[in-house]
Amino acid sequence: MQLLEHVDYRLITGGEDLEAIYRLRYQSYLQSGMCGPIASGMFEDRWDNLPNSYRFGVYFDGHLVSTLRLHYISREHPYSPSVDAYPEILAERLARGETFIDGTRFATDADSAPAPGVLPFLTLRLGMVAASYFGLTAVLTPIKIEHSAYYARIFHAIQRTEGKVFPGVLAPIALFEIPCGENLRQTLERFPFFKSTAVEQRMMFANPAINRLTPLSIVPTAKYYRDAA
């Protein structure tokens, strides 16, 4: 909670900030073996500019430390990397009217972490804010199997597929699902820094990320719940 005092989230729409998160993705993925060399030194893909796409940079004391991309997917907007990678899991559920946040392109600058192990918490908080705003069926997170213990412990994530080829990366990826509803309520109670006010939620998600009128910087609001306790 104290570290959130130094954090701001930026909904990235273009310019130098966009190039910065693409470079961070590339550096992180190259180091971890998720991608090979790319001449531009930037990692971007065909899902980045979709109207249901939200690209975020996480800044600590003004320095970019991590990035995450979210897609809000529904029957009306069934477009995201996980929909393309796992149609056997998601196509029928979307047709029934279920809705999801698809979290992909998570990347960090470990050398800039303010403390060991905190960047996943600061970054994945974005998914919890999205879940609170949209009222979802679940948050989807395609990840390496070796990272699954973290997601199961913190978010009670459920594995839906075995590891398989995932668009744009080299490592096998499995689809995990974080149920919302009662599970989200319990997660927010266990980890109050994942909480957010309606104002923060609207600033992040009331308009598509490609809308350049969306505010650039968004300050975490979990502290207001702490101060009111």
Quickly tell me which residue has 């974080």 as its tokens: 178
At residue 165 the predicted structure's pLDDT band, cuts being 50, 70 and 90, is confident
User: For residue 26, what is the domain's CATH number?
Assistant: 3.40.630.30
Give mean pLDDT, residues 101-123: 94
Burial 28-45 (b: 16+ CB within 10 A, else e): bbeeeebbeeeeeebbbe
Is residue 33 within 8 Å of 228, Cβ to Cβ? no
Give mean pLDDT, residues 109-135: 94
Which H helix or E strand runs over 84? helix 81-85
Measured in degrees and rounded to the nearest 5, phi and psi for residue 190 equal -70, -35
Residues pairing with 218 in the sheet: 9
Instruction: Report pLDDT for 179.
Output: 97
User: Does residue 223 register a pLDDT over 80?
Assistant: no
CA distances (Å), origin 183, targets 11, 43, 156? 27, 33, 8
- Domain ranges, residue 203: 3-228
Q: What is the pTM assigned to this prediction?
A: 0.92
* pLDDT tens profile 87-104: 999 999 999 999 999 999
Between 15 and 98, the more confident residue is 98
Is residue 80 within 8 Å of 71, Cβ to Cβ? yes
Give mean pLDDT, residues 103-122: 94
User: Does residue 229 register a pLDDT over 50?
Assistant: no
Task: Specify the amino acid at residue 225.
Answer: Y
Closest CA to 175 of 200, 145, 209, 203: 145
Total number of domains constituting the chain: 1
Instruction: Report pLDDT for 210.
Output: 53
- CB neighbour class for 185 (10 Å; exposed up to 12, middle 13-18, buried from 19): exposed
Give mean pLDDT, residues 212-223: 73
Instruction: Report pLDDT for 219.
Output: 87
Between 50 and 209, the more confident residue is 50
Cβ contacts of residue 163 below 8 Å, gap of 6+? 144, 145, 172, 173, 174
Instruction: Report pLDDT for 211.
Output: 54
Strand bridging mode 138-143 / 100-108: parallel
Instruction: Report pLDDT for 58.
Output: 97
* pLDDT tens profile 41-81: 999 999 999 999 999 999 999 999 999 999 999 999 999 99
